[in-house]
Amino acid sequence: MTPYEQHAWTTAYLDKIQSHKLPTPKSAALTLTDAQICRYFDSMLSSRLLDLRSRLLQAKGQSFYTIGSSGHEANAVVAAALEVTDPAFLHYRSGAFFIERSKQLPGSTPIYDLLLSFTASSEDPISGGRHKVLGSLALAIPPQTSTIASHLPKAVGTAFAIDLSKRLQQQGQWPENAIALCSFGDASANHSTAQGAINAACWADYQHVPVPVLFLCEDNGLGISTPTPCGWIAHSLSPHMQTFTADSRDLADVAQAARAAVDFVRKNRRPALLHLKTYRLFGHAGADAEVAYRKKHQIEAELDEDPLLYATALLLQRGIYQQSELLELVLKLDQQTARVAFVASNKPKLTSAEAVMQSIVPKAAAQKNTAVKASAVSTEPATAQTLEFDKHNLGKPQHLAKIINWTLHQAMARYPNAIVLGEDVGKKGGVYNVTSQLVQQFGSNRVINTLLDEQSILGLGIGLAQQGFLPVPEIQFLAYVHNAEDQIRGEAATLPFFSNGQYQNPMVVRIAGLAYQRGFGGHFHNDNSFAVFRDIPGLLLFCPSNGRDASLLLRQALELAHSEKRLVIFLEPIALYMTRDLHQPGDNLWACDLPLSEEQLPDIGTPAIRHHHLDKPTDLVIISYANGFYLSCQAQQQLAAQGIAATVLDLRYLVPLHIDKIAKAIGQTQKVLIVDECRRRGSLSEELFTALHEHKPNWYQLSRLCAQDSFIPLGSAAYTVLPSVAQIIEQSILLLGENKQQPKLEQVG
């Protein structure tokens, strides 16, 4: 027999019903039918009993998440005002919303599904046991984790993308009349991410750009222990958009406000705010002892304002249920929840690293070997037609920036759903003209000038991807991505993981960065650290050093995003954008021809090899990327003049490192110099040094040459903290002078 344990609150609740200790309803709710009230009440009560059951399970070590929805259950009424095809990005206190929306899809089992999530079962239909998330592909609820407003930018991006689909006549994930719902708490409203997202929506709306997003602020007056000043939400958010308000203790009030808000957004395609007064009951989470920061009488007073008690009182006042019937209903639902919890808690769990990691890479990619060659681009219009705007340069070797620009033109013609977006990418053509002429050829709906806010740029990219577009966001400088890195780390990259591969965020994020810029310095423009990307599972990081590789790798990145739904960072070395010469002025050795469209793409992870031309075996291999590869090629010639045969490898693929392919490119050479323009601490050289040693212990004699652990200063001083050609030559000679039998000591310049 299934054990049944009743939570103390449930016992007290039944007693309140039996002893008539319920509050007086806020209104008679004459605008609601009995059937509506019953439906809302069922969703609210089910959510509450799930919260309480989760806490009982946690005490037994069977549930692992107790941030509940208690006091917020009136969001079920908001769910009822929306369509099941309206994408909903939910606050973690939205259990009742989830249950109510499930009722719009026959056959749904929300109580069982949520309990599978609470108990971290591998049969959880959304995350597969990886996290307690409110999400469902069928219910149009992309899963969110316990973030602080980081889902708002992508909600805005999704709203924008819905109407963009209509303008471009492309069918998307969500229908043309859909709106995006985004819920968050009053404390989260203060976060820069929330402020940026709301500002972005209003910025677009001010220019009459459709952004049909409904912001639902569930205001319970607390940010864990920090009170929200009375009236703050209305003061800070309401002036910026049409606002609707409601008190969650009055279901009719909530229903009226929710319907009005939804109708306003759907009809006008404009953002709006639904400000819902709620209550946070039982603390922030199971481990939160409210008595440590709140007076006991405050806690008790809020328990008396419980919206569920007001909904219960309304049921009895309207005569929908008799007292005995209601008691029986509550008890039966609680017992049913306990039985389902017992079943869910005994369902399988994830038991291996392989199972946990199965959804890091989107399913579309997991079904393929990501090391195989991506299909060559072959279906875009003829190059001459696509690049007609620059016909006087066609057929001539070009620098990196020009080749990337041409490749972007080809890609926009190849993929009708490709969208380039970012600050100044339109008529200006970007800071370095890399997006020049794109807007003239493909229009402002496909080349979007954004506001100056990296969180919004990336959020827009995520939203576009959700709708079925192929976004190519541009971040102007590498240092600027640090303002918004959680949009990549916490949102885009984690979505396949937390949805068991059901949702993906395919996009190619172009970032101009790295050091060695001349005449334009300071660490915000000469940023030589991309360590953040090396710590994000599932992400790919490509970094070309020359135009030819840039074209091939960008085509490959776009194909991976298009076909395998991958998230790719495309890091472009600014200092090499306009570089044409390698050894001396006018030699034009770093300029490249645009590869043919049908040219085969490289194997992912395979480094490019620049062989020496001496008639002797290789003395050492120099491994680098971007500016370091360029400098190493200069050093290669000077070393050759001294009779030293150095082969130079350009990694190109920086995350993840395919060490087997790198080792194959090194061959039997033992002496290896790693030249890394990033800082010694936290740079790629650390991983490469370790991985080579692990791959073939005691074989390689490894040495590192890195930038100093310093920010990059202005002017010529910048080159004092970065690797130089002279240092590469010096360290190569030092490495060759070592006795092979000596311990392999790390060298750092």
Q: Which CATH superfamily is domain 363-576 in?
A: Thiamin diphosphate (ThDP)-binding fold, Pyr/PP domains (3.40.50.970)
DSSP 321-385: S-HHHHHHHHHHHHHHHHHHHHHHHTS-B--SHHHHHTTTS-HHHHTS-TTSPPPPP--SPPHHH
* CATH of region 11-284+316-345, choose from 3.40.50.970, 3.90.1150.10, 3.30.420.10, 3.30.930.10: 3.40.50.970
Which CATH number fits the domain 608-736, given the four candidates 3.90.79.10, 2.40.30.10, 3.60.20.10, 3.40.50.920?
3.40.50.920
Could you tell me which of 521, 125, 83 has the C-alpha nearest to residue 347? Answer: 125
Contacts made by residues 129-136, CB under 8 angstroms, sequence distance 24+: 129/349, 129/350, 130/350, 130/356, 130/359, 130/497, 130/498, 130/500, 131/498, 132/64, 132/65, 133/498, 133/499, 134/90, 134/92, 134/94, 134/95, 134/97, 134/98, 135/498, 135/499, 135/503, 136/98, 136/102
Residue 300's alpha-carbon distances to 41, 194, 296, 434, 708, in angstroms, are 23, 31, 6, 62, 59
Residue matched to tokens 């960072």: 569
- Domain limits, CATH 3.40.50.970, in the chain: 11-284+316-345, 363-576
Evaluate if residue 743 carries a pLDDT over 80.
no
Question: 571: helix, coil or strand?
Answer: strand
> What is the pairing mode between strands 226-227 and 222-223?
antiparallel
Count of other CB atoms within 10 angstroms of residue 209: 15
| Whole-number pLDDT of residue 748 | 42
Please state, in angstroms and rounded to a whole number, the distance separating the CA atoms of residues 376 and 697: 37
Burial (Cβ within 10 Å: 0-12, 13-18, ≥19) of residue 392:
exposed
> pLDDT (tens digit, 9 = 90+) per residue, 425-447?
999 999 999 999 999 999 999 99
DSSP bridge partners of 556: none
Can you give the pLDDT at residue 437? 95
Outline where DSSP puts E strands in 99-155: 134-136, 141-144
Task: List where CATH 3.40.50.920 sits in the chain.
Answer: 608-736
Decide: residue 394, CB within 10 A, 0-12 exposed, 13-18 middle, 19+ buried.
Answer: middle
User: Model pTM?
Assistant: 0.93
Cis ω before 656 (30° cut-off from 0): yes
Tell me the backbone φ, ψ of residue 246, rounded to 5 degrees: -160, 155
User: Could you tell me the pLDDT band of residue 217, with boundaries at 50, 70 and 90?
Assistant: very high
Which candidate, 743, 608, 622, 619, places its Cα nearest to that of 673? 622
- Is the model's pLDDT at 65 over the cut of 80? no
Find residue 473's DSSP bridge partners: 421
Read off the pLDDT of residues 362-415 as tens digits, 9 standing for 90 and up: 876 444 433 333 333 335 566 788 898 999 999 999 999 999 999 999 999 999
Average pLDDT over residues 244-249: 96
User: Hunting for tokens 């590469």 — which residue is that?
Assistant: 728
Average pLDDT, stretch 251-275? 98
Exposure of 128 in the CB half-sphere (CA atoms within 13 A):
19
Residue 689 has pLDDT above 90, yes or no: yes
Q: What mean pLDDT do residues 307-320 have? A: 96
8 Å CB contact between 597 and 387 = no
d(C-alpha 525, C-alpha 516), whole Å: 10
Q: Please, what sign has the CA dihedral across residues 413, 414, 417, 419?
A: negative
What are the structure tokens assigned to 131, written together? Answer: 């996290």
What's the rounded Cα separation, in Å, for the pair 7 and 88?
31
